[in-house]
Amino acid sequence: MTNLTDLTLAEARDGLAAKRFSAVELTKAHQQAMGSARSLNAFVADTPDQALAMAVAADERIARGEARPLEGLPIGVKDLFCTEGVQSTACSNILKGFTPRYESTVSANLWNAGAVMLGKLNCDEFAMGSSNETSAFGPVVSPWRRAGEEAGKRTQLVPGGSSGGSAAAVSARLCLAATATDTGGSIRQPAAFTGTVGIKPTYGRCSRWGIVAFASSLDQAGPITKTVRDSAMMLQAMAGPDAKDTTCADLPVPDFEAAIGRGVKGLKIGIPKEYRVPGMPAEIERLWEAGQAWLREAGAEIVEVSLPHTKYALPAYYIVAPAEASSNLARYDGVRYGLRVEGKDILDMYERTRAAGFGREVKRRVMIGTYVLSAGYYDAYYLRAQKIRTLIKRDFEKVYADGVDAILTPTTPSAAFGIGEKGSGDPVEMYLNDIFTVTVNMAGLPGISVPGGFDAKGLPLGLQLIGRPFDEETLFAAGQVIEDAAGRVALPEPWWG
Amino acid sequence: MNAPVDHKKLIKGATGDWEVVIGMEIHAQVTSKAKLFSGAATAFGAEPNAHVSLVDAAMPGMLPVINRECVRQAVRTGLGLKAQINLRSVFDRKNYFYPDLPQGYQISQYKFPIVGEGEVIVDMADGTQIQVGIERLHLEQDAGKSIHDLHPSQSFVDLNRSGVALMEIVSKPDLRSSEEAKAYVTKLRTILRYLGTCDGDMEKGNLRADVNVSVRRPGDPLGTRCEIKNVNSIRFIGQAIEHEARRQIGIIEDGGTIDQETRLFDPGKGETRSMRSKEEAHDYRYFPDPDLLPLEFTQDFVDELATHLPELPDEKKERFIAEYGLSVYDAGVLIAERESADFFERIAKGRDGKAAANWVINELFGRLNKEGLGIEDSPVSADQLGGIVDLIGEGVISGKIAKDLFEIVWSEGGDPRAIVDERGMKQVTDTGAIEKAVDEVIAANAEKVEQVKEKPSMLGWFVGQVMKSTGGKANPQAVNAMLKDKLGIE
């Protein structure tokens, strides 16, 4: 028998159905992998008893012939999702020890589909970051390493962020798949950095209920997986209407897995000229061209398109997202739950609690957000950013109205970087990681990152496909074409155990 | 706002006359079973924190979902205020930190409220009417309650009210005296109670007012205003305005200027005091709540609510005057509470409306007020009081006997007609019996008989004597006629 942790989600499903192994065996194999990968710091909470109980129940269901779509498949959950009876902290000190009495809709959907919960995954604090370095639990170490570095002098790389724990755990084969969230690129960028697949569905495809809010108008849940098919399976279970979230679309969820083999014949794929940013590394350029060639060879028509307001997306994003965050994080005040640092009066208590509870990046964004919403600045910042957002949305609408089915871009401007390498002096250096991904959140569109190749140092690079609203199916179809052409990524051999 | 100055309303200062300008923000708790954005109950008087959902406590990841019933109630209120209903409105976040505000923001409506401009017509005690413009009505969440007196060093928070739906009804600065302000709140409360959209219970805090007061010389532009927060009785509203206007006049007349600030009314001392200055005012950082889509509904939705609106006080008053021939005053008294108006109408239907109004206003209301009872607690039902009015109309009992009968029904209950029969309270119309009584009174008062011939106005005394001797049961008209005849008075 092959190593169970090497299986994809779909392979594991088929193996369980064929009774080649049990859900308990599958779960234990992953728990063992988790145990030997502590140095990666991917998990911030393990739920071994719960996992085994769920696996046992899954085996019984399988035996009775009542297997649900994800029956017995062990997954990890980003710590941004509230999970009943299990510590849920958004990787912030201000929520350390917080154990909700409720289960987020998305994770509940997964358990209802039979998935097994291995534990909670590390992420940037309140999902604010692009390298998983802002977590109160410390950074996640990517299982990937640069080729050619001398033993003993190897750079520890970031897995990307904010869903760094999810991406690292999947690429290190600690879980078959993971939930993640994406506000500006937090699913797609770490997927690109770790040779995994990540899809941020259309805003409103997944319920936000029970997910710790960062920027409500941009946040969306999605999966990080080993393959495009696995992503389709995961999203199938995660998505769906929810009366508890007004912004969640009241739309039926199509059969995503059925779209996988559809191909791209006759589709029109747009190449936005504005994404050819100055100073783009040649290897990113080559990756993008390869992606176009693969899609063309599979029968798609490649056309150049224009998204003229792209250059304003990142600055506008860094107004809208912090503005919403400054308000969303006001509830962490030490009054009802989470951390409280006593003070001489209520104001002093607030100040001490929030000073001790929030990390540097979160404080920075709360302050930026507070500033841009302040009297006298609102019109100049927040209102203008919202106008830009409308223009960005229109850019896409126009392209899609002209018959384009999906847009192809690189996911990130570079491969993974070393821990501590970026953003310590200038935060904008870090923010630039999301330059290709934020537009998608600003426009509320679906976007998928699929591994497309490697940089000169052997690190994975991702290609991003952006779809029409609620047309994730085309992304799965086109994503599969890229995956087939680029070849499945060989995930890194464990050096961490 | 620039209506002609009414000199009767001016306040005399040391240096001349002043005009007070008042605008009101009324916070009215929406009558609904559940809160504005959560399914938690709204019932009053529960144990602290008994009605708190995960949303109300602002647990991580919780989201608001609008309660349709609260939307309906706000639209109905807008219709009752003859106001513009906005088919699209937006919920905003009003950000500030306070322990009884779990989210760290209040969900309210800022730039795009659900209801726009409207109007309320207010009747004043002197019979005049004023028109008060409504600026807007918006929906918002109430906060919880901080309790500071249960522990020497700590405060407690009760979130039962947290998230309860409020309508904030903002008037234009159209009010010119404390009397007008009080009458406006009274009228608004009446309209809300008619609509059933707010119970208007000020003791429970279900209706409370922020009062904006400024003063100016007649004809001058508006002065700097002070806002008096959270006044919770109509009487206090009057007191707060009187005090605040005189305070401001005093400052200006002494050569000072008014600082724009928020003040609190202290009912114990009958004065207002500073709460926070303009500089200390919060920057609420309003922005559209990204957790909620804009609130949109169709004109059909509004029309449907409009067709089921109850008759409102102004319409009812007009109808009472036209249908029952009531005076403006009587009609105004009867419609002040929907229950009173309904009570009256159950009596007035098919009877003499004026007589019904007299009995309801003078006898019943008088007695209820004396006992501190509301119309819903009246021991005399509409049917019983109607029965009494019938007996008078049929000439079965006199007005005086009717009052006795009312007392009996009030304290003992029972069917008025049966009581009259059983207790022999019927009016005597038998001329033989009346004649006997008349003759006896004339015979016993020879001296007065002489006097009445000189002074016919003394006839009333004779009538009184006859009534007394018949125990009030003689028909007064018959007694009157017979006495005139026998005494030879024209």
Residues of B in contact with A82 (CB under 8 A): 59-61
Q: Give CATH for domain B431-487.
A: 1.10.10.410
- Which chain B residue's Cα is nearest to A370? B285
Cα(B392)–Cα(B326) distance, integer angstroms: 19
Q: How far is CA B88 from CA A152, A193, B67, B166, B299, in A?
A: 64, 44, 16, 19, 11
Query: Which of A481, A430, A487, A454 minimizes the C-alpha distance to A185?
Result: A430
Report helix, strand or coil for A303.
strand
Q: In chain B, what are the domain boundaries? A: 8-305, 308-422, 431-487
Q: Contact, B224 vs B247, CB < 8 A?
A: no
What pLDDT band is residue B3 in, cutting at 50, 70 and 90?
low
Classify the phi-psi angles of A279: left when phi > 0, otherwise alpha if psi is within -120 to 50, otherwise beta.
Answer: left
| Chain A residues inside the 8 Å CB shell of B57 | 336
Confidence band, pLDDT 50/70/90 cuts, at residue B1: very low
Contact yes or no for A330 and B95 at CB 8 A: yes
* Interchain proximity B60–A95, CB inside 8 Å: yes
What is the arithmetic mean of pLDDT over A280-304? 96
- Which one of A242, A246, A317, A381 makes the best mutation probe of the B interface by having the most chain B beta carbons within 10 Å? A246
Distances (CA, A) of B73 to B34, B79, B137, B138, B196: 12, 10, 11, 11, 8
**A378 to B287: CB separation less than 8 angstroms, yes or no:** yes
Going through A321-366 in order, the beta strands assigned E by DSSP cover none
Optimal mutation site among B38, B53, B95, B97, interface A, most CBs of chain A within 10 A: B97
Q: Is the pLDDT of residue B341 over 50?
A: yes
CA angle B201, B203, B207 (to 5 degrees): 45
- Residue A246: list chain B partners with CB under 8 A: 63-66, 291-293
Residue with tokens 């997986």: A225
CA pair distance A44, B123, nearest whole angstrom: 68
CB environment A48-57: b (16+ within 10 A), e (fewer): eebbbebbbe
Q: Is A78 a catalytic residue?
A: yes
By Cβ distance, the residue of A82, A217, A329 closest to B290 is A217
Beta-carbon count within 10 A of A281 CB: 15
Q: Tell me the mean pLDDT in the region A131-141.
A: 98
Output the average pLDDT for chain A.
96
Rounded distance between C-alpha atoms, residue B88 and residue B82, angstroms: 18
Q: Do A374 and B54 touch (CB under 8 A)?
A: no
Which of B54, B283, B287 has the CB atom closest to A102's CB atom? B54
Which ipTM did the prediction report? 0.96
Q: Provide DSSP, A108-149.
A: HHHHHTT-EEEEEE--SGGG--SSS-S-TT-PPPPS---TTP
Contact of A450 with A462, CB cutoff 8 Å? yes
Q: State pLDDT tens for residues B100-111.
A: 999 999 999 999
Sort strands B226-231 and B207-216 into parallel, antiparallel or unpaired.
Answer: antiparallel
The residue of chain A with its CA nearest to that of B57 is A336
Q: Check whether B336 has a pLDDT greater than 80.
A: yes
Give burial (CB, 10 Å; 0-12/13-18/19+) of A341.
middle
CA distance A93 to chain B (A): 14
CB spacing of A215 vs B102 below 8 angstroms? no
Strand pairing report for B261-266 and B226-231: parallel
Sign, CA dihedral B421-B424-B427-B431, equals: positive
In chain B, residues with a C-beta closer than 8 Å to the C-beta of A378 are: 285-287
Percent helix, strand, coil in chain B (nearest 5)? 40, 20, 40
| Interchain CB distance below 8 Å, A327 and B61 | no
pLDDT of residue B468: 87
Q: What contacts B55, CB < 8 A, 6 or more positions away?
A: B37, B38, B40, B62, B63, B64, B163
Which has the minimum average pLDDT: A92-106, A124-138, A456-470, B458-472? B458-472
In this prediction, residue B2 has a pLDDT band, given cuts at 50, 70 and 90, of: low
Give the tokens for residue B264.
């609190």
Question: Looking at A104, A107, A162, A414, which residue is catalytic?
Answer: A162
Question: What is the C-alpha to C-alpha distance for residues A483 and A197, in angstroms, rounded to an integer?
Answer: 9
Q: Shortest CA distance to B78 belongs to which of B63, B89, B65?
A: B89
Helix (H) or strand (E) holding A285: helix A282-297
Angle made by CA atoms A330, A336, A342, in degrees to the nearest 5: 85
Task: Sort A152 into a burial class: Cβ within 10 Å, 0-12 / 13-18 / 19+.
Answer: exposed
B245, B213 contact by CB (below 8 A): yes
What is the percent of chain B with per-residue pLDDT over 90, rounded to a whole number?
74
CA A247 to chain B, closest CA, distance in angstroms equals 7
Strand partners, B108: B92
**Count of C-beta atoms within a 10 Å radius of residue A273:** 12
Q: Mutate which of B53, B55, B59, B151 to disrupt the A interface (most A C-beta within 10 Å)?
A: B59
Side-chain-side CA neighbours of residue A138 (13 Å): 9
**Phi, psi values for residue B2, rounded to 5°:** -115, 40
Q: Can you give the pLDDT at residue B399?
A: 82
Could you count the other beta carbons within 10 Å of the beta carbon of residue B210? 17
Q: A295: pLDDT confidence band, cut at 50, 70 and 90?
A: very high
End-to-end CA distance of chain B, in Å? 62
For residue range B35-73, list pLDDT tens digits in order.
999 988 888 888 999 999 999 999 999 999 999 999 999
Taking CB atoms and an 8 Å limit, are A327 and B93 in contact across chains? yes
Q: How many CA atoms within 13 Å lie on the side-chain side of A313? A: 28
Q: What percent of chain A has pLDDT over 90?
A: 95
Q: Which residue has the higher pLDDT, B152 or A100?
A: A100
Q: Which residues of B touch A208 (CB under 8 A)?
A: 61, 63
- Interface of chain B against chain A, CB under 8 Å? 54, 57-66, 93, 95, 97, 99, 102-105, 155, 157, 283, 285-287, 290-293
Residues A279-307 have a mean pLDDT of 96
Q: Which among B63, B104, B287 is the nearest to A246, CB-wise?
A: B63
**pTM score:** 0.91
pLDDT in tens, A385-442: 999 999 999 999 999 999 999 999 999 999 999 999 998 878 888 888 899 999 999 9
**Phi, psi (5° rounding) for residue A416?**
-60, 150
Range in A169-183, A284-298, A362-376, B408-422 the model is least confident about: B408-422
**Contacts of residue B66 in chain A, CB cutoff 8 Å?**
246
A-chain residue closest to B288, CA distance: A324
Question: Residue B130 above 60 pLDDT?
Answer: yes
Q: Which of B49, B63, B91, B292 to mutate to test the interface with A (most CBs of A within 10 A)?
A: B63
Of B49, B20, B191, the closest CA to residue B119 belongs to: B191
Å from A248 to nearest chain B CA?
10
Tell me the shortest Cα–Cα distance from B154 to chain A, in angstroms.
Answer: 9
Taking an 8 Å cut-off on Cβ atoms, the answer to whether A373 and B285 are in contact is yes
CA-nearest of A302, A254, A265 to A409 is A302
Q: Is the pLDDT of residue A1 over 50?
A: no
Closest-CA distance of chain A to residue B274, Å: 20
